[in-house]
Structure 1
Amino acid sequence: MLPHQKILEGKMKTAVVFVHGFTGGEETWKGGGGLKFSELLAQDPELNTDYQFFEFTYFTKLLDFFTTAKIQKVLNVIPLINRIPGITGRVRVNKPIAQLSEQLATFLDLQLGEFDDVILISHSMGGLIAKDHILNYEPGHGPKPSGYVSISVPHKGSLSSLILGPANNVNARELVPLSEYCDALNNRWIEQKQNLPPTLYMIALHDECVVKESALPFTVSKAGRATVDHDHTSICKPLSMADLSYVAVKKFLKDISYNKLMNSLSNGALLTSMPDYDKEIFVLKMIVCDIGKMGVADAKDCFFNAEIISKAANKKDAAELISLQGKVLSLYKQKYNSCNGKNLSSNEIFAEVHAEITAQDDAVLKSTASYLNFLHKKGLLHQLANNMRDDVIWGDQTDFNAIETGTL
């Protein structure tokens, strides 16, 4: 087990909330195998240590005539009728998406308020409810939206809603292509594109309710979307862990967990005490060159940060770290040669090299991994120095014999 894995034991999980669509409910997520989407994910050992799964349900019917206040009052006073289960009860009517979004916000605040963040997995109209919530989220009012999965969501409306016109359903009217609400919501989503949480857009290849052009709110890269061999209903009912609907959501959740881990490691939130490193070669090289106490301490700190990140990095980021390390080494050689020509001391060379790496953090050393900063990049240099070669030294007269024998 890696050090960071030990540190993460017992940490707060992230809430994952499923939001069904128009006329849907709990049955929306249940596949032929008898398990709901959330139950299938909860059984996955790669996910259940990081996530806890929930469902948000709300009233949505094609016709709400019999559950309106007027009709319920009439039914309650009719003998025999008022004794039939399900005929009378609480008043329920379809509500606009914006109000359903407020209901979702209340659910998240009161039911899941102990969680720091939440990922919303939503189907069809549920995706518009989730979008409205994300755009109107107020910090401190429930867990922060940290991810969004859009499953066959009609971002630009649904043509099938046109045939529901006679039903006079408030949500059917909102789902009509280019409706005032749907259009305004999508425009706000586009305007906030740079500030949105990580998002996966899932498209059902055989969807007759939401066409591909509507399932995407704007141009989305291939990495941000998944097209699967499903229809509008089956896409959220994976039959097994091999179903590509399941695989796509699992990968999305794993990526979010990984990025959360790396950012936490990067800012030191999860780090344990640093080893002393006094007998490491990169430290001994500095000592024989009389590098100052504070310089040695900074190098140890940078080395520690680079080691933690390197051990936790996935295959893609590990390759980038190797590439960055090559660039760091090139900068070191150029700056060392320049400083040596000016007859600078080892301490001055040390300072110049590190100042150059810091200066190039967002230039030559710019990284696609947001969690990498100049501390890690300086640490990459000290990782290279941690051997008995002269690839990285702080003076031409470095006494390797003293390092090897320990006679410093």
Structure 2
Amino acid sequence: TWTNSSKYKFPEMLSEEDFINENFDIAYFNYFTKLIDFKKARFTSGLIRTIFAKPSNIAKNISIKSLSEHLKSSIEIYCEEYKNIILIAHSMGGLISKAFILDDLNENESTKVKLFLSLAVPHKGSNWANIGGKLARSNPQVIDLKPLSAFLDKVNEDWIENKERIPKTVYYFGQYDEIVEEQNAVSYQVGKKLKVACNNDHFNICKPESKNSIVYKGIKKDLSTYVKEKHFSEDMKPKTFIDDGKLDDELFVLKLLIADVHNSLIDDSKQTFFNAEYMIRSMISKGYDIEELDQLYNNLERLYRIYFNKLV
């Protein structure tokens, strides 16, 4: 699924990026499928650490819903120690992923999946399945992949209802894809910024020939943005303040002392000032434009002055 004509695997390409290697573990999730001329997903090993069990020798097509339950069990067992998961899924794997995410939200009110990268996924079904269904009437996966199937209707309806809770999703589609066309490869109510057009067909979109391809550079950018935002959110959390006396001469502290305000309020003010300064320095070091937050900062400062004046 992920190996290009030079036997170079997409996940191995990604793992060669320093920031990806430092911030992520990469694993494959494998399942059996036989959809007319679709090939069985191969279990691979090598540079990428594989943390999912190898599929059994029993070759049987089961429903997409059942496969999502297999994914759920695999993540719960093999990825128990991970708090944040990114899913990169191709074709039917994306529907398996969506069904898993929705079940996770329903069961836990939240999901470990923080980013979902969708590669040529038939979110609205595939017209190919209508043809394939005539040749494989008993294949549950083909039935699920048909446009307007009961499975797809349910998943898409739940996806829209949970739009405030689902992870950020980026939709990659192939402009030469005859299996899943653009209108089916993008979910409902998706903005332009979350759609990426690639000069690929259905099969080579997940096996870029070089690191200069759109799909590779796009996913690399998505992962980089996620890491940056994750580190930023961690830096914005309040830090433990140790009062070493360095803030004793700050003007706001002197005012509180003159007003004979209780020591606990002075300590609290120092803690607040410390975290505000720490967060600003952290934002500057990561390249954020402080001017963009000036208005918010001014509003907060104004509120602080209002309540400070009430106090003194």
User: TM range, normalised to the smaller chain?
Assistant: 0.7 to 0.9
2:125 counterpart residue number: 157
2:307 is the counterpart of 1:325: no
Kindly tell me: are residues 154 and 115 of structure 1, through their superposed partners in 2, closer, same or farther at Cα, counting changes over 3 Å? same
Kindly tell me: are residues 306 and 184 of structure 1, through their superposed partners in 2, closer, same or farther at Cα, counting changes over 3 Å? same
Q: How do residues 49-68 of structure 1 correspond to structure 2 at under 5 angstroms?
A: 49-62=22-35
Comparing 245-254 and 183-192, the one that deviates more:
245-254
Kindly tell me: are residues 140 and 36 of structure 1, through their superposed partners in 2, closer, same or farther at Cα, counting changes over 3 Å? farther
Letter in 1 for 2:309: I
Quote how far apart the aligned CAs of 1:229 are.
2.1
Secondary structure, counterpart of 2:202 in structure 1 = coil
Quote how far apart the aligned CAs of 1:203 are.
1.8
Aligned counterpart in structure 1 of residue 19 of structure 2, from 39, 46, 60: 46
Retained in 2: the 8 A contact 1:161–1:175?
A: yes
CA offsets per residue over residues 8-42 of structure 1, 9 Å max, x none?
A: xxxxxxxxxxxxxxxxxxxx111245332211111
1:189 counterpart residue number: 159
2:113 counterpart residue number: 145
Kindly tell me: are residues 264 and 348 of structure 1, through their superposed partners in 2, closer, same or farther at Cα, counting changes over 3 Å? closer
Aligned counterpart in structure 2 of residue 242 of structure 1, from 212, 235, 243: 212
Comparing 309-318 and 122-131, the one that deviates more:
309-318
**TM-score, length of structure 1 as denominator length:** 0.63
Letter in 2 for 1:144: K
2:176 counterpart residue number: 206
1:349 counterpart residue number: 309
Kindly tell me: are residues 302 and 121 of structure 1, through their superposed partners in 2, closer, same or farther at Cα, counting changes over 3 Å? same
Kindly tell me: are residues 233 and 90 of structure 1, through their superposed partners in 2, closer, same or farther at Cα, counting changes over 3 Å? closer
> Which blocks of at least 5 consecutive residues in structure 2 are unaligned?
38-55
Letter in 2 for 1:262: F
Letter in 2 for 1:220: V
1:253 counterpart residue number: 223
CA distance in 1, matches of 2:88, 2:254: 55
Letter in 2 for 1:40: M
Q: How do residues 2-401 of structure 1 correspond to structure 2 at under 5 angstroms?
A: 28-62=1-35, 90-137=57-104, 138-139=107-108, 144-165=112-133, 166-168=135-137, 169-268=139-238, 271=239, 273-274=241-242, 276=244, 278-279=246-247, 283-287=250-254, 290-291=258-259, 292=261, 293-313=263-283, 314-316=286-288, 318-328=290-300, 331=302, 349=309, 351=311
Secondary structure, counterpart of 2:68 in structure 1 = helix
Secondary structure, counterpart of 2:171 in structure 1 = strand
> Which blocks of at least 5 consecutive residues in structure 1 are unaligned?
1-27, 65-88, 340-346, 353-408
Letter in 2 for 1:130: S
Secondary structure, counterpart of 2:27 in structure 1 = strand
Retained in 1: the 8 A contact 2:86–2:114?
A: yes
Kindly tell me: are residues 308 and 42 of structure 1, through their superposed partners in 2, closer, same or farther at Cα, counting changes over 3 Å? farther
Secondary structure, counterpart of 2:188 in structure 1 = coil
Retained in 2: the 8 A contact 1:190–1:217?
A: no
Secondary structure, counterpart of 1:202 in structure 2 = strand
Kindly tell me: are residues 50 and 229 of structure 1, through their superposed partners in 2, closer, same or farther at Cα, counting changes over 3 Å? same
Secondary structure, counterpart of 2:22 in structure 1 = coil
Retained in 2: the 8 A contact 1:278–1:284?
A: no
Retained in 2: the 8 A contact 1:158–1:210?
A: yes
Secondary structure, counterpart of 1:267 in structure 2 = coil
Retained in 2: the 8 A contact 1:123–1:153?
A: yes
Retained in 2: the 8 A contact 1:277–1:300?
A: no
Letter in 1 for 2:253: M
Quote how far apart the aligned CAs of 1:264 are.
2.8
Quote how far apart the aligned CAs of 1:94 are.
0.4
Retained in 1: the 8 A contact 2:116–2:169?
A: yes
CA distance in 2, matches of 1:277, 1:231: 64
Kindly tell me: are residues 240 and 322 of structure 1, through their superposed partners in 2, closer, same or farther at Cα, counting changes over 3 Å? farther
Aligned length in residues: 285
* Root mean square deviation of aligned Cα: 2.9
